[in-house]
Homo-oligomer: A and B are copies of this chain.
């Protein structure tokens, strides 16, 4: 009976061993309610004994479902991937998708070439849906993806019209308000801001929160804000510029931890003590950064794991039920106090 034939067992084999038809075996595997307890048990036993694993291709062929989803990062500046934020998102995606037993197909798109490839791939029906990370202004990829008849969930707000889109965003503006209010509550009077690149909506939202908390108009904000480009080096430079523009500053809200790390270095070199002379609040709460700066960084936490988990959850809902309507989900942010403010 036990044939150690190295060919993988098929559903037919399972059915034969369980003494039922292929159809019944299939129904057991798909948890159909219309099977008797005996059949169910017999089939399960056979599956176990044979170590049966459904053939994904055959299943995909008939269900027209691939059991895979694409995770797409659109980012013209490949070096930004050095940001630990990126690693965190990938990690979260891998985990969340594995949990629901779907394959994660990772796509990194930088060049127009990559865009074309992504277009071909996504249009080719190789995946059931996609998670898209495309933070930049006027990203061609978003227009491409929008036209596809493919369920997509975005991370954050992509640039452009949001009509009919599904997305899970962090409350960037709220978090920025939190940070700024905290600095105010410490009695700081000259609060400045290192922003992210203003072609990303998350950076704009954070800037807006900063402005709102201080009741600043555009002009006022411009006087106390510098763009740090979401890089460590950018954070250094922006901080230098701010020290020059506003020598009397006593607090700074930095729109990312990576930039904050750079800003701290600049402040240190300039002889300003943190938090005594200058209070600093970051954004992201990247433990691997925030816990290792000197002093440890107070930061606004956005839970990327949670964000990705929600994205996956929502995409699965979309895949099950085509009629889910457009939905924008907003995740709360919270201030984590450490030593820098």
Chain A residues in the interface with B (C-beta under 8 A): 1-3, 6, 8, 53, 55-58, 60-61, 64, 66, 68, 78-79, 81-82, 84, 86-88, 90-91, 94-95, 98, 103-108, 114, 117, 120, 123-126, 128-129, 149-151, 232-233, 286-288, 292, 319, 322
Chain B contacts for A87, CB-based, 8 A? 81-82, 86-87
Question: Pick the contact of A105 from B2, B103, B125, B128 — CB < 8 Å?
Answer: B103
Chain B contacts for A3, CB-based, 8 A? 149
Q: Please tell me how many copies of the chain the complex holds.
A: 2
Tell me how far the C-beta of A170 lies from the nearest C-beta in chain B, rounded to whole angstroms.
20
CA of A4 to CA of B285 in the docked complex: distance in angstroms?
A: 46
Question: Pick the contact of A322 from B1, B66, B233 — CB < 8 Å?
Answer: B1
Pairwise interchain contact B66-A56, C-beta atoms closer than 8 A = yes
Chain B contacts for A150, CB-based, 8 A? 1
Chain B contacts for A117, CB-based, 8 A? 98
Chain B contacts for A114, CB-based, 8 A? 98
Question: Pick the contact of A125 from B2, B61, B123, B319 — CB < 8 Å?
Answer: B2
Question: Pick the contact of A2 from B53, B64, B103 — CB < 8 Å?
Answer: B64
Chain B contacts for A61, CB-based, 8 A? 55, 57-58, 61
Chain B contacts for A82, CB-based, 8 A? 84, 87-88, 286, 288
CA of A312 to CA of B94 in the docked complex: distance in angstroms?
A: 21
CA of A88 to CA of B86 in the docked complex: distance in angstroms?
A: 11
Tell me how far the C-beta of A208 lies from the nearest C-beta in chain B, rounded to whole angstroms.
29
